[in-house]
Amino acid sequence: MSDFILETRGLTKHYGGVHALTDASFTLKRAEHVAIMGDNGAGKSTFVRQITGVEQPTRGEIIFDGNAHFFNSPIAAREAGIEAVFQTLALADDLDVPSNLFLGREKIRWNLGPFSILDRRAMREATMAALVKTGVKIPNLSNTIRNMSGGQRQCVAIARTAAFKSKLVIMDEPTAALGVQETAQVENIIRTLKEAGEPLILISHNMRQVFDLVDRIVVFRRGRIVANLAKEDTDGQDVVSYITGAKTGAEFEGAA
Amino acid sequence: MASGTAQHGVGGLTYDSKKRALPPELNILVALIAITVVFELLNRYNFGWLWNDLPFQQGKSFLFNTRDNLDTLFNEQRINIILLQVAITGIIAIGVTQVIILGGIDLSSGSIVGATAMIAMSFAQTATVNGNPNPKAIFGEGFMDLWVLVPILVGLTCGLIAGCVNGLLVAYTRIPPFIATLGMMVSARGVAKWWSNGNPISFPTETYASLSNGDMMGGMTFGVLSWSGQNPALVFFLLAILFHLIMTYTLYGKRCYAIGSNEAAARMSGINIARHKVLVYTIAGLLAGVAAILLTSKTLTAQAGMGVMLELDAIAMAVIGGVSLTGGRGSIIGTVLGALIFSVIISGFTSIQLDAYYQEMVKGAIIVGAVVMDQWRQSKRGRG
């Protein structure tokens, strides 16, 4: 078993003539929490879209959990164990919490093709277990998502990652649209994941949040990785100068 | 882990999994009772003279039996009429409800009823009427007096094919369901007219006629309500129960709600949306076929104009029953109650002798009113 849960080698994505991502080589250890930072259009989201199977890379390799993978769809990535929580929530408003957690992966009691009978009790119990694991507080599981606050909705989306024993969680600006208290709630969930030893990639613009939560910061600029900084060896000022291009990491000189 | 009320999570928070809000159908049930009471009062105190030139009549009852023989508590004739109307249009409404919950719309069901009625009826004809050859015969001798399952299967197949075409159009051409089913509405009506050059098709075999007019329940009486000649209503209630269970407890139902609620999220979750849409529209077409068979069996004739505007009545029943036209919300129970409300109103208008033209005007207002109510409900509980 390799030390790394995820490794990308020379990951590259071109949209026509636009080089959105160039030679991104990235590693993530088991149980490690890493933040990806960078200005808008720096390639952060493009990078995430490649490893979650939303898009397919032009070049490069993705080694996940010791095996090389080519994800032709988000479902393939999810089946491999990569769960993503996107900025735009992928929840069905009119369904309750268990139905949303198990959307597309429902537990079945009797298999009758499309008319299979759902195992509602098992899904409810697994939902409660996932909520406990992530420390998410939802007062009433039978409530539809529509009736919930933005924070609760985000928490449900995050709890979804815990319900399926995912091997890697990716969060793309999970608190961008949330209030102070709701942000604190989501950050608590991330700490819970850290204690449980679940690896995480966090995309965030919030410097305080990043220094609070992660072990390592990877900075993207103009489609390239320009810095790989352990939290202890850096500070906010330093990270900003990498983001803006005032500095470039020694090992990434060629990338500038 | 135990289900039910248990102590879990951070800060001693309780997940009360049993707690539920009142079902939205309760409001609709209250409305049904209120509307029935209003018509009962209007009948009792005979307000008919207000809008008719008719002479003042002795007040009668809307729902109850006021004649001398009190074997039955209820006005059987009225209830039979209401149930018949609920049954035929309600069966269509069950299919339409699923399509609307899926986030679509089906405008073609009335025309599918027309086409299916003509085609099925032509396989249900009897060879001799009162000793003479059938004057309305469509096919030759070989296709007369067929086993009753033949017209039934033909009818179901017609509905199934029409629904399947709807589904394929909606799922794979990505044209709006409104347009796809509008096309089917016009084309299926064309089929209905072309099938016999616009001539009515009549004189079915006795067995076919007994489908709707016979007594599957053997004239059973439930307490004071006798139940006779109501096979269509029986079929409707059985189908309603079946599809209620399907929509509530199966993958099929869950996916209807998921797709209608957030199609992008459903796609991201790996649900095969196109295949599911074809299935839902096919079932809606199949149910229109069932309605056509029961309708022709009841009326003993099929005409090219059968079922005109039936799709709008069915949509109205669903909307009155709380099915949201934006998709994702509603239930079969709601639609059943909506169908009852719709039919009580129509029958009530007749009972107070309101002119048929006024009835149509008010019907339109009710449909619009139900949609306004739905919008209002949505904005009231918009996201916090």
Q: What angle, rounded to 10 degrees, do the helices at B76-101 and B251-261 form?
A: 70
pLDDT digits (tens, 9 = 90+) for B350-368: 887 778 888 888 888 888 8
- Can you give the pLDDT at residue B17? 45
H or E element that contains A22 = strand A18-29
Amino acid sitting at position B88? I
In a domain, B23, yes or no: no
| Residue B40 reports pLDDT greater than 80 | yes
Check CB contact of B274 with chain A, cutoff 8 Å.
no
Q: Which residue of A has its CA nearest to B277?
A: A114
**In this complex, is the C-beta atom of B22 within 8 Å of any C-beta atom belonging to chain A?**
no
Cβ contacts of A140 on chain B, cutoff 8 Å:
15-17, 19
Predicted local distance difference test score (pLDDT) of residue B228: 62
Residue B33 has pLDDT above 60, yes or no: yes
**According to the model, what pLDDT value does residue B315 have?**
93
The answer to whether residue B55 sits within a structural domain is no
Burial of residue A3 (CB within 10 Å: 0-12, 13-18, 19+) is exposed
Asked whether residue B152 carries a pLDDT value surpassing 90, the answer given is yes
Spell out which residues of chain B touch residue A104, defining contact as CB-CB under 8 Å.
266, 268-271
Mean pLDDT to the nearest integer, B30-50 = 79
Most confident of B62-76, B138-152, B286-300: B286-300
pLDDT at B383 exceeding the cut of 60: no
**What residue of A is the nearest CA neighbor of B3?**
A125
Cβ–Cβ gap B261/A95 under 8 Å? yes
Contact list, A181 vs chain B (CB under 8 Å): none
Per the structure, the complete domain to which residue A91 belongs is given by 4-255
- Mutation target among A94, A96, A125 for the B interface, most CBs of B within 10 A: A94
Choose the closest CB to A95 out of B257, B270, B276.
B257
pLDDT score of B175: 92
Quote the pLDDT of residue A146: 83
pLDDT of residue B12: 35
- Cα–Cα distance measured from residue B85 to residue B97, given in angstroms and rounded to the nearest whole number: 17
pLDDT single digits (tens) A177-194: 788 888 888 888 889 888
- Give the pLDDT of residue B55: 54
Per-residue exposure over A98-121, b if at least 16 CB sit within 10 Å of its own CB, e if not: bbbbbbbbbbeeeeeeeebebbbe
Whether B305 shows a pLDDT value over 60: the answer reads yes
Identify which of A225-239, B80-94, B159-173, B266-280 has the greatest average pLDDT.
B159-173
Cα A136 from chain centroid (whole Å): 17
Query: What's the number of domains chain B is made of?
Result: 1
Domain count within chain A: 1
Q: Tell me what pLDDT residue B67 has.
A: 59
Q: Token match 């339109």: residue?
A: B364
Write down the ipTM of this complex: 0.78
Is B34 touching A (CB cutoff 8 A)?
no
The C-alpha atoms of residue B91 and residue B212 are separated, in whole angstroms, by 14
pLDDT of residue B211: 85
Instruction: Enumerate the residues of chain B whose CB falls inside 8 A of the CB of residue A89.
Output: 265
Distance CA A23, CA A3 (A): 22
Look up the CATH number of the domain holding residue B213.
1.10.3470
Return the pLDDT at B247. 95
Nearest to B359 by CA among B271, B351, B203: B351
Query: What digits encode the pLDDT tens for the residues A153-175?
Result: 888 888 887 777 788 999 988 88
Each residue of A185-223: pLDDT tens digit?
888 888 988 888 889 999 998 899 999 999 999 999 988
Question: Confidence band (pLDDT; 50, 70, 90) for B271?
Answer: confident
Q: Do B9 and A131 touch (CB under 8 A)?
A: yes
Distance from CA of A84 to the nearest CA of B (A): 11
Task: Kindly give, in sequence order, each residue whose CB lies less than 8 Å from that of residue A193, ignoring residues fewer than 6 positions away.
Answer: A33, A134, A162, A169, A200
CB < 8 Å to A112, chain B: 250
What is the domain-level CATH number for residue A139?
Answer: 3.40.50.300
Nearest to B304 by CA among B203, B158, B199, B154: B199
| Distance in angstroms (rounded) separating the CA atoms of residues B323 and B278 | 20
Q: What is the pLDDT of residues B160-188, one digit of tens each?
A: 999 999 999 999 998 999 999 999 999 99
pLDDT at res. B51: 58
Are A50 and A21 a contacting pair, CB within 8 Å? Answer: yes
Question: Percentage of chain A surpassing pLDDT 90?
Answer: 20
Interstrand relation of A216-221 and A33-38 (parallel, antiparallel or unpaired): parallel
At A53-111, the pLDDT tens digits run 888 999 899 999 888 888 888 888 888 888 888 766 678 888 999 998 888 888 889 88
Nearest-CB residue to A103 (from B13, B246, B266): B266
Asked whether the predicted pLDDT for residue B220 surpasses 70, the reply is no
- Look up residue B278 and give its DSSP letter: H
Q: Sorting pLDDT into bands at 50, 70 and 90, what band is B279?
A: very high
List the single residue in B250, B258, B269 with the smallest CB-CB distance to A118. Answer: B250
At residue B57, the pLDDT reads: 56
Structural contact between residues B315 and B138, judged by C-beta atoms closer than 8 angstroms: no
pLDDT at A44 over 50: yes
What is residue A83's predicted lDDT score, i.e. its pLDDT?
86
Mean pLDDT of B283-312: 93
Answer whether residue B341 is part of any domain: yes
- Lowest average pLDDT, out of A115-124, B224-233, B330-339, goes to B224-233
Q: Is B5 on the interface with A (CB under 8 A)?
A: no
Which pLDDT band holds residue B284 (cuts at 50, 70, 90)? very high
Contact flag B249-A116 (C-beta cutoff 8 Å): no
Range of the domain at B263: 75-379
pLDDT tens-digit series, residues A119-133: 999 999 988 888 887
How many residues appear in chain B? 384
Q: Is B12 on the interface with A (CB under 8 A)?
A: no
Asked if the Cβ–Cβ distance from A91 to B265 is below 8 Å, we say yes
B334 touches chain A (CB under 8 A): no
